[in-house]
Structure 1
Amino acid sequence: MRGGTVAVVGGSIAGCAFASAAARAGAEQVVVYERTRGRMADRGVGLCVHDDRAAELAAMGTLPAGIATHRLTRRRWVVRDAAAPAGKLFWEQPFPFHSYHWGLLWRGLREATPASVVYRQGVTVTGVAGGGAGAGGGAEVALAVAGAAERHDLVVGADGYRSVVRDAVCPESRPHYAGYVCWRGNFDARLLDDLGADAWPSDAVTTVCFPGGSCVVYRILGPDGTRVNWVLYAVPPQGGALRLDDPTSFPPGRLTAELATGLAELLAREFPPYWARLIALTPPEDTFVQPIYDLESARTTAGRILLAGDAATVVRPHNTSGAAKALQDAAVFASAWRAADSWDELLNAYQAARGAAGRELVALARRLGRAQVEQTPDWAKMGRREAESWWQGQLAGAAGIGGQAMKPDRP
């Protein structure tokens, strides 16, 4: 199938990947609507992609080569111990991942987007119509500019967990608050010199465990060298003015005093001293909070509208699959386009391939969240054997974390 116009709502990782896929598959015109006006590459958070997923995505042309990564091979689980400033190591497991700086990954995807793609920043989409029966004429994108609307043969919703496009596909689906948040931060790895002896191998992810939560720490390669990235999951301070039942976040520089105090108290009370000092190296302007949500969409397509990435499925971060899942969505979309003779065939093939995959990822991440935050074990009593059994209970038959394997694209 060739020709037609495609609108992609959202210009981050999923949006760039889908824009590239549509342009290369043969769309006549591809337009990306991105509401952010500034430099999206300034987002400095880290993420990880499983080595096998990265290899598959590279082979399918969805993950560009040359993006800076940091190699990880193992995950170390530690718990506070009075005799060990860096905590007691009770388990080490293989962790075949590479970590990315979000901004550099986005930049690589953006630079790989064909020049024919029209990338419009500072444009806010307020709604989409054309998701019901009889949408044979395409779908219409409503813009924040009074009365402005543009029609396309296909609209891709790649606008994240607060997606406005989702309302046209399955308005009954809303992100569900999991009952806890993640504090996130990153800082220049050269600050680690202030901690003295290095208790942390460079190829290791460290998970600091405590009653009611856990904190994952790993290195990423940023624009100016190596940075330390951390994600701490716990129930937020009770009371106060925090409202977390509707999708929200507290971006860098806007952390409330209540949340900042809660983090400091948690570090002092539960963390081994080395890791408490490490987290405290993070500047306030690089610390923020994301409430944890998840969402299962009953449908990923309707009429001439398709949902991608977090717009389709919101998976708790414990599964380490968000970026890989978004890029896999784009790879499946490209493959379905090449095999389709009509828009209906394309949309039906995408729904068949990605609907169940998203639901399985949500279910696994919920199990991981329960085990690592909501119903934590007595970490101090665990050894290798107990930890391995506990981990297999979370997987419940899944091959592992990091997303699901894909079969190579075939003509």
Structure 2
Amino acid sequence: MRRIDGRGNQKGQTLTVRTPTKSRKAVIIGGSMAGLFAGNFLLRHGWQVDIYERTHDSLASRGLGIASHGELQELILAAGATVPDPLGVNVIGRSAVDKLGETIASYDYPQQLAGWNGVYRSLLAAFPAERYHRGWELAGIEQNGTTAIARFSDGQAVEADLIVGADGFRSAVRAAIAPGIQPRYAGYVAWRGAVDENELSDVFRAETMDLFSFCFPKAGEFIGYPVPGDDGSAGLGRRRYNFLWYYPISPGMALTDILTDADGIVHEYSISPQLIRPEHIERLRADAQELLPKKFLEPFLQAERFLMQPIYDVESERIAFENVALIGDAAFVARPHVGVGVLKAGQDAYALARCLEPDIPVAEALANYDAARLVEGRASVVAGRRLGAFIEQGLEGPWADPNLKLGVEDIIRVSGRPVQQHDPATASLA
């Protein structure tokens, strides 16, 4: 197995398990991908670790498809978890079509597209169940120079040598230690859905199912690809077709309206699928009938449930604060075009564990972590903004503004892939 260095890049072999001279305690806030990666890596690095997750229920049903990269498998194994078998569904390449469904660009790029649920369940199974605590909502953080204290909404407090903020783009940890860093809305949302393969026509399965497909409805972008089924199977007839539609929604009243449920409650940043008002789904389906190529209407209209994800950027100036570190989406949020959310979470967690060498003061180790991952995080945000600029600006498509230097061919080559490090403008997480 290859080793991954402090920047998260592959080198030669897996993470070495070390035991520090004294047991050190870590508290991780957030029990999704980033938190589980961090928890497993720190355990293998000799730390005493507890994860505190805000929600009471399992997170396994919350994700759909993710782009898998070669390094993801290495990170899962390095975390002491079992790689799901299969990890994902293989696609033969990428294709972009116009409104009539005619191919306008193609790119041969074999790739594996994984199911979010399978990776999450694997990482969760590797972490001690008695140290994964549900229903704990962070209320604040105190630091005293050598340790940090996590205070929870029920009045309880936990002291640790290290607190890791792995609680996503709405991070309570980030809000406590760096309240000036706020998510920035990009001017569009992603409507997501998935359909079982056996509910799709023979023609769709034969011509479209095995491709990573793109099209560009008015001032937006639609992407579809296969992922494993709910049971993790990638066998023919047991997969799912996953899609997302980047769909313009103006900031202000329009965004507030779509985040308001039937009882008039406005949900900050996101809204649960079951609370989305029916009229928004009806409008979306009507727009699909008008704007989407006919073949993509099939999975779209078959979907029984839609997730609505407002697209935000989060760009931190720092990701280390004495005894507190930010990782994953708590540190940086790159728009999903880049397709590195889970990969970056694993890389951040790995780099954090690598920097926390035995007998090095935590604050010093976190300063090294900050230096190792800050540039990479910013680069992913820059790359996501570039890929979504035409949607944010309300343009007909990526070709509409030559100054963007972003054609259809560029979109299908770069989306869902780590940015190439040789490009200094968007140095990345390869």
TM norm structure 2: 0.81
Q: Is the 8 A contact 1:169 1:301 kept in 2?
A: no
Q: Residue 139 of structure 1 aligns with which residue?
A: 148
Which of residues 316, 332, 335 in structure 2 aligns to 1:297?
316
2:270 matched to which residue of 1?
249
Is 1:112 paired with 2:126? yes
Deviations 1:101-124 (A, max 9, x none): 2222110011122x3871111211
- 2:46 aligned to which of 22, 26, 35: 26
**Residue type matched to 2:170 in 1?**
R
Q: Distance in 1 between matches of 2:279 and 2:220?
A: 18
1:210 and 2:210 equivalent? no
Does the CA contact (< 8 Å) of 2:81 and 2:125 recur in 1? Answer: no
Distance 1:221 1:198, change over 3 A: closer
* Pair 1:219 & 2:247 matched: no
Structure 2 residue aligned with 1:272:
293
Q: Is this contact kept in 2: 1:62–1:331, CA < 8 A?
A: no
Compute the displacement of 1:387 (Å): 3.7
Quote the Cα distance in structure 2 between the aligned partners of 1:228 and 1:204.
10
* Equivalenced residues, count: 386
What SS class does the counterpart of residue 341 from structure 1 fall into?
Answer: coil
Aligned counterpart, 1:84: none
Instruction: Give the match for residue 260 of structure 1.
Output: 281
Which residue in the other structure is 1:169 paired with?
A: 177
Q: Percent identity?
A: 30
Contact 2:248 2:391 in 1 (8 A): no
Question: 1:138-157 alignment to 2 at 5 Å?
Answer: 138-145=147-154, 147-157=155-165
Which residue does the alignment assign to 1:65? 83
Q: Give the aligned partner of residue 377 of structure 1.
A: 397
Q: Match for 1:249: what amino acid?
A: S
Q: How far does residue 222 in structure 1 lie from its aligned partner after superposition?
A: 2.5
What is the RMSD of the two structures over their aligned residues, measured on CA atoms?
Answer: 3.1
Q: Distance in 2 between matches of 1:57 and 1:399?
A: 25
Alpha-carbon distance change, 366 to 311 in structure 1, aligned in 2, over 3 angstroms? same
Map Cα deviations across residues 92-149 of structure 1 (whole Å, 9 max, x no partner).
Answer: 1244432222222110011122x3871111211122222xxxx32311111111x321
> Which amino acid in the other structure matches residue 116 of structure 2?
W
Listed as ranges, the matches of 1:32-51 within 5 Å are: 32-51=51-70
Q: Structure 1 residues 358, 220: CA separation in 2 closer, same or farther (over 3 Å shift)? A: same
Question: How do 1:180-195 and structure 2 match up within 5 A?
Answer: 180-193=188-201
1:219-238 alignment to 2 at 5 Å? 219-224=226-231, 225-236=238-249
1:299 match: secondary structure: coil
Letter in 2 for 1:137: T
The 1:26–1:198 alpha-carbon spacing in structure 2 relative to 1, beyond 3 Å, is: closer
Tell me by how many angstroms 1:58 deviates.
Answer: 5.1
Q: Aligned partner of 2:119: which letter?
A: L
- Cα deviation for residue 377 of structure 1 reads 3.2
For the 8 Å contact 1:210–1:379, the answer to whether it is kept is no
Aligned residue for 1:80, secondary structure, equals coil
Among candidates 47, 54, 76, match of residue 72 of structure 2: 54
Cα pair distance change 1:212/1:301, threshold 3 Å: same
Residue 338 of structure 1 deviates from its aligned partner by 3.5
Mean Cα displacement is larger for which, 226-235 or 57-66? 57-66
Asked if the contact 1:76/1:91 (under 8 Å) is kept, the reply is yes
Cα offset for 1:402?
12
Q: Are the structure 2 counterparts of residues 301 and 402 from structure 1 closer, same or farther at C-alpha, using a change threshold of 3 Å? A: closer
Report the structure, 1 or 2, having the larger strand content.
Answer: 1
Unaligned runs of 5+ in 2: 1-19, 232-237, 260-265
> Partner letter of residue 177 of structure 1?
Y
Paired with 1:47 and 1:23, the residues of 2 have a C-alpha distance of: 26
Indicate the residue corresponding to 2:168 in structure 1: 160
Q: Which AA in structure 2 matches 1:162?
A: R
Query: Could you tell me how far 1:216 is from its partner in structure 2?
Result: 0.8
Aligned to 1:342: 361
Which is worse superposed, 262-271 or 301-310? 262-271
| CA deviation profile, 1:231-290 (whole Å, cap 9, x unmatched) | 10011389665266985223222222342133112211111112112211000xx21211
Distance in 1 (CA, whole Å) between partners of 2:359 and 2:208 is 49
For 2:212 and 2:224, the matched residues in 1 are separated by 6
State the shift of 1:349 in Å: 1.3
- Given that 1:75 and 1:94 are in contact with CA atoms closer than 8 Å, whether structure 2 keeps it comes out as yes
Is the 8 Å Cα contact of residues 80 and 126 (structure 2) preserved in structure 1? Answer: no
8 Å contact kept, 2:137–2:152: yes
Counterpart CA distance in 1 for 2:197 and 2:53 is 32
Higher relative contact order (CA 8 A, sep 6+): 1
Deviation sequence 1:144-175 (CA, Å, 0-9, x none):
11x32111111000000110100233211000
Render the CA deviation track for 1:294-348: whole Å, top value 9, x for unaligned. Answer: 1101110102100010000011100001000000011111211247622123201
CA distance in 2, matches of 1:324, 1:59: 13
Equivalent in the alignment of 2:429: 404
Partners of 1:235 and 1:101 lie apart in 2 by 26
* Counterpart Cα distance in 2 of 1:242 and 1:15: 32
Give distance in 2, aligned partners of 1:334 and 1:236: 39
1:200-250 Cα deviation digits (max 9, x unpaired) = 344311112122011111111133331111110011389665266985223
The within-5 A match list for 1:350-365 is 350-365=369-384
Contact 2:163 2:325 in 1 (8 A): yes
The offset of 1:60, in angstroms, is: 4.4
CA contact (8 A) 1:8 1:30 kept: yes
